[in-house]
């Protein structure tokens, strides 16, 4: 009786990659534990990190009073545009005594009217700020108070606005990169050439760099409390610094001009420091009175 030599051949150990390959093509009933752990590790590493705007290390310093109204209005404008586009083909199916040219004109007029109204709503509400947060540097999150937060020119500020579909759009930028804006439906904006990071509601980065010149609209009556008042004072100071640098660049350079420039910048920075100290003292006195 002949015994096949394959029975005495040494068994070859399969690698995890070979096990996965055979399991994928139905050659193995199950996948080993090593391969399963590798799959779980790869899946967890690809999960996007949450935005700093949604963590406990952020301190909320501003909440828009019309946040829900702005979101509902945006959703209504987008849904009305989609309904108009979806119902336009039915104009050509109706049995009416008009030509196809007139039917096409009615469809184009309906889409143009709905599209223009949606674009107007998006332009007006695209800059509306629903929430502003800054990093919470306090040691205890339970005792954190927005009025005692320390704000500098390098502090990153996160502005939550609405996207085209009504979702969250979070723009993070430094205080030194902001300036006042006189455009309609805007209070402040990012200075030209300055970088910012834009994320969605899940924390995924949508754009990073200086591709967008974003504007923001805040209620001025809500910017009278600390630390938002200090941030607005710093933004006003940024405008003076930009104007001074432009005038210095346009004027001819001379020793006297450089000396005057240094004195002007020193006086401006000194006045700003005094303003910040006054605001801090007012905040401390208000807390003591309470």
- Give the C-alpha distances (Å, rounded to integers) separating 286 from 111, 225, 258, 279: 56, 11, 42, 11
User: Which two structure tokens, joined as six digits, stand for 264?
Assistant: 């002007």
| Residues 79, 73: Cα–Cα separation, whole Å | 10
Q: What is the pLDDT at residue 269?
A: 52
pLDDT single digits (tens) 180-226:
998 898 999 998 878 788 888 777 887 776 656 689 999 988 888 88
Q: What is the pLDDT at residue 30?
A: 42
**How does residue 63 score in pLDDT terms, banded at 50, 70 and 90?**
very high
Q: Percentage of the chain with pLDDT > 70?
A: 63
Q: Would the pLDDT of 139 be above 80?
A: no
User: Which two structure tokens, joined as six digits, stand for 244?
Assistant: 């001074």
Contact 129, 217 (CB under 8 A): yes
Q: Which residues fall within 8 angstroms of residue 156, CB to CB, at 6 or more apart?
A: 52, 134, 135, 172, 173, 174
Q: What is the pLDDT at residue 121?
A: 94
For residues 97 and 6, which has the higher predicted lDDT (pLDDT)? 97
Strand arrangement, sheet containing 188-190: 178-180, 188-190, 215-216
For residues 159 and 237, which has the higher predicted lDDT (pLDDT)? 159
- Give strand pairing partners of 158: 133, 172
| Residues 209, 177: Cα–Cα separation, whole Å | 12
> What is the mean pLDDT of the segment spanning 269-281?
66
**How does residue 72 score in pLDDT terms, banded at 50, 70 and 90?**
very high
38-42, 74-78, 88-92, 282-286: lowest mean pLDDT where? Answer: 38-42
């Amino acid at each position: 009786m002949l015994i096949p030599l394959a029975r005495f051949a040494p068994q070859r150990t399969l690698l995890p990659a070979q096990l996965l390959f055979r399991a994928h093509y139905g050659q193995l009933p199950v996948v080993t534990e090593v391969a399963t752990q590798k799959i779980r590790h790869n899946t967890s590493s690809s999960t996007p990190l949450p935005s700093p705007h949604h963590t406990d290390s952020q301190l909320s310093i501003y909440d828009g009073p019309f946040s829900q109204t702005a979101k509902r209005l945006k959703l209504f404008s987008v849904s009305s545009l989609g309904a108009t586009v979806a119902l336009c083909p039915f104009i050509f199916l109706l049995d009416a005594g008009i030509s196809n040219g007139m039917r096409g004109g009615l469809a184009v007029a309906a889409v143009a009217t709905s599209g223009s109204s949606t674009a107007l709503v998006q332009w007006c509400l695209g800059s509306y700020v629903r929430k502003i947060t800054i990093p919470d540097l306090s040691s205890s999150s339970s005792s954190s108070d927005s009025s005692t937060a320390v704000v500098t020119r390098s502090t990153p500020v996160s502005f939550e606005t609405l996207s085209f579909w009504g979702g969250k759009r979070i723009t993070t930028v430094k205080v030194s990169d902001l300036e006042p804006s006189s455009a309609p439906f805007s209070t402040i904006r990012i200075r030209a050439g300055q970088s910012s990071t834009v994320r969605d509601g899940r924390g995924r980065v949508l754009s990073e760099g200086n591709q967008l010149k974003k504007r923001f609209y805040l209620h001025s009556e809500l910017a009278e409390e600390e630390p938002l008042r200090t941030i607005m004072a710093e933004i006003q100071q940024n405008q003076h610094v930009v104007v001074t640098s432009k005038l210095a660049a346009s004027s001819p350079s001379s020793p006297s001009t450089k000396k005057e420039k240094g004195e002007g910048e020193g006086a401006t920075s000194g006045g700003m420091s005094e303003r910040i100290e006054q605001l801090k003292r007012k905040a401390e006195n208000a807390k003591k009175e309470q």
